[in-house]
Every structure is written in C-alpha cells, then in structure tokens.
Amino acid sequence: MTKIKPRMTKILEFEYIVADWYNPDGDIHPIVPVILRHRDRSVQTMALVDSGADMNVMPFHIGMELGLSWERTANDFELHGLAEILAAKAVAVDLAIGSWPTLRMAFAWSRQDETPVILGQWNFFGEVNVCFSRSQGLMTFELPQ
C-alpha cells in the first residue's frame, strides 16, 4: 500500500479584509488569521501584515493568554510608534499560518492592550516573501526553501 504524503503548500494567498476593530473606515486591510503558540498554550487571532513596521508586535493580553510573565521576562526596550513610546519586552513565540509548518518568531510584546498583532520586518518579512496586490485585494506569502 502506498502512503500519500501531505504536500506542504509553499504559497498562501489571502484576501484583504474589512476589520472594524483595526480601523472603522470600512476600507480593506492586509489582515490574516494566525495562531500564536508558547509552550502548551495557543491563541487564535488576526494579524496586520505591515511592511512599514520594523518588527512583529503583540498586545499585552495575548502574551498573558500565552502564559508569559511580564515581571519574569527580561529584554526591556521601548517600542516607538507614530504617536507614543510604549514599554515592550522581546519574546519568541511560534506562529502558525494556514497549512505551513510553525515558524519561530521574535515579537515585541507591548505593555498596551490596544496594540494590534503586527507582522513586520523583523522577523516575519525576513522569513517570508510577501507580495501585496492592493488593487486586487490580495496578498501572497511564499515560504522560501
């Protein structure tokens, strides 16, 4: 009997979506469903794919749901945004998107809950090729070999 091996999809395509929680303007945005994992805990959430963001970011409550401890996490730094400077910690968590294998990602864990999950240059774009086709409302991810 021949076993059929599941084939990993190296290219994923997502449609831009309207996300009132992110921006109530009614416009479409490059937002994707993801699962963040740390040890035995996981959180399903939506993430903004932002090529202008220097790094991956996650809000305080997501880190807490993943079992992270603010007091026991070293690596303090400041997260500079457009309007404010936020306290943050550097953490590593697993990121699952679609049918791909889990990717280990560095995140700036923000002290603020209002911060969205952001996939940015460090290190999402360093691991994944992203093509935005805004006029078509599509984005394509490619996992290089």
CATH number, domain containing residue 94: 2.40.70.10
If one counts every other C-beta atom within 10 angstroms of the C-beta of residue 27, the result is 10
Entry pTM: 0.90
Q: Which residue has the higher pLDDT, 115 or 107?
A: 107
**Cα–Cα dist 137/133, whole Å:** 6
Which has the minimum average pLDDT: 82-86, 90-94, 123-127, 130-134? 82-86
- 75 domain residue, yes or no: yes
Residue 56 lies in a domain: yes
Q: What is the pLDDT of residue 5?
A: 55
Tokens 């469903």, located at residue: 33
Domain span at residue 118 reads: 31-142
**What would the mean pLDDT of 23-46 be, rounded to a whole number?**
95
pLDDT value at position 2? 57
- 3-class secondary structure, 39: coil
Domain membership of residue 4 (yes or no) is: no
Q: Is the pLDDT of residue 8 over 60?
A: no
Q: What is the mean pLDDT of residues 22-29?
A: 87
Q: Binning pLDDT at 50, 70 and 90, where does residue 129 land?
A: very high
pLDDT in the model for residue 123: 95
In a domain, 24, yes or no: no
Is 111 inside a domain boundary? yes
Residue 15 lies in a domain: no
Contact predicate 48/118, CB 8 Å: yes
Structural domain includes residue 8: no
- Report the DSSP beta bridge partners of residue 44: 35
Helix (H, G, I), strand (E, B) or coil at 61: helix
Decide if 55 is inside a domain.
yes
How many structural domains is the chain composed of? 1
Q: What does the pLDDT average to over 98-103? A: 95
Q: Is the dihedral of CA 59, 103, 131, 10 positive or negative?
A: negative
Residues in the chain: 145
pLDDT (tens digit per residue) in 87-97: 999 999 999 99
